[in-house]
A and B are shown apart, each in its own frame.
Chain A
């Protein structure tokens, strides 16, 4: 992920400080549009990644990233949401009698498998895109998920 969140934050601050209603910035391989709507900004970034930032003027921290081949990750403060990359049945363990891949409270590493999604009998591992402490796993074992459903929330301030 090469999106420069710091740059986006600075641009948001620029919009706030100058009470701008809209700011467009285009550079090679990066473009961003920030629209201020009273106490809220909407930021659209295109090429090579698509990032959307929404939040109040005080905590414009929520970054949503999309990547065609990987699950979406939403960052809010130190909490990162790992979202389902596809529709299917989510399994928290490799077989009914096995222990879960991860439990709430576990420390996990980036790339570690947090579950499986079954679609058409293809079992796809869902790797954690970040390391940290698992704060919650909101989906029960064996439940149907849609693309974008939150599978885990990870506190990245507690990694390592």
Chain B
């Protein structure tokens, strides 16, 4: 995969820009990085605070030769790649909250939004990653739950440094996934899993699943032991309870 980085000063969202570029046949490995996102978004259009300066906002365009119904595996690829990058620059071991939220000391340091579209010829996947790098303060609504690499590690990590490490990490992890398959990747994911063993509540497909997280099965689904038995969850937002 050849990495080609497009640097933008300000964009509505790097995923939106990447999706537009993908429609124009740009090659796999094209990366869109923005200093600022004016409408940075996460799951279901939720806002991702993206002020200029302290955060890394990037999207990577992929054209993987995988079946459409395996596209969810890219969420795990992105999570492992980002976790390894955060570990490298912070010196701390991040946790992955199923399937791909990045936590440092229990607070969210990074988020990932993967969007896919089956085109006539191939699958187009855009992996958006937001990392809080040098932030020292957050909007009030997320002040209790968000953190940054600098806040947790005390290291003065620059956004550019984080970008270099993240892109290199992604390239390595994605290549290994394509070469070796999902099994090894999932084993790496499990090493960062901070959901297993926790009391969780997941709203998924209109149902509210509460219980103890028991890790993921080979299809990436979160297993939750509830009073009615083990439930397999393939979508939704996990809330970890005390």
- Mark A residues whose CB is within 8 Å of B: 68-70, 85-89, 91, 94-98, 113, 118-125, 127, 140, 142-144, 147
- By beta carbon, the residue of chain A nearest B120 is A111
20 A–B contacts, CB within 8 A, in A order: A69-B118, A70-B118, A86-B68, A89-B236, A91-B44, A95-B41, A96-B44, A119-B234, A121-B72, A121-B99, A121-B113, A121-B235, A124-B115, A124-B118, A125-B115, A127-B117, A140-B206, A142-B205, A144-B205, A144-B235
| Chain B residues numbered 185-242 whose CB sits less than 8 Å from any CB in chain A | 204-207, 220-221, 234-236
Report yes or no: B43 in contact with A122, Cβ–Cβ below 8 A. Answer: no
Please determine whether A85 and B68 come into contact, CB atoms closer than 8 angstroms. yes
- When A and B form their complex, what is the total count of cross-chain residue pairs whose Cβ atoms lie within 8 Å? 97
Partner of A124, one of B46, B117, B207, B236: B117
> Given A68-B67, A89-B235, A96-B45, A123 and B116 touching (CB < 8 A)?
yes
Q: Mark B80-95, 1 if CB is under 8 A from A, else 0.
A: 0000000000000000
Closest to B125 in A: A122
Instruction: Determine the distance from Cα of A49 to Cα of B44 in the docked complex, in whole angstroms.
Output: 35
The answer to whether B205 touches A124 (Cβ under 8 A) is no
Number of interface residues of B (CB under 8 A): 34
**Could you tell me if B44 and A120 are in contact, using CB atoms closer than 8 angstroms?**
no
Q: Which residues does B use to contact A, with CB under 8 Å?
A: 41, 43-46, 67-69, 71-76, 99-100, 112-118, 123, 125, 204-207, 220-221, 234-236
CB distance from A140 to the nearest CB of B (A): 8
B residues within 8 A CB of A147? 69
B117 closest partner in A (C-beta)? A125
Alpha-carbon separation in the docked complex, A96 to B43 (Å): 11
A contact residues around B71 at 8 Å (CB): 86, 119, 122, 124
B68 touches A124 (CB 8 A): yes
CB-CB under 8 A from A121, the residues of chain B are: 43, 72, 75, 99-100, 112-114, 235
The 6 closest A-B pairs by CB, nearest first: A95-B45, A144-B205, A120-B72, A86-B69, A89-B235, A122-B114
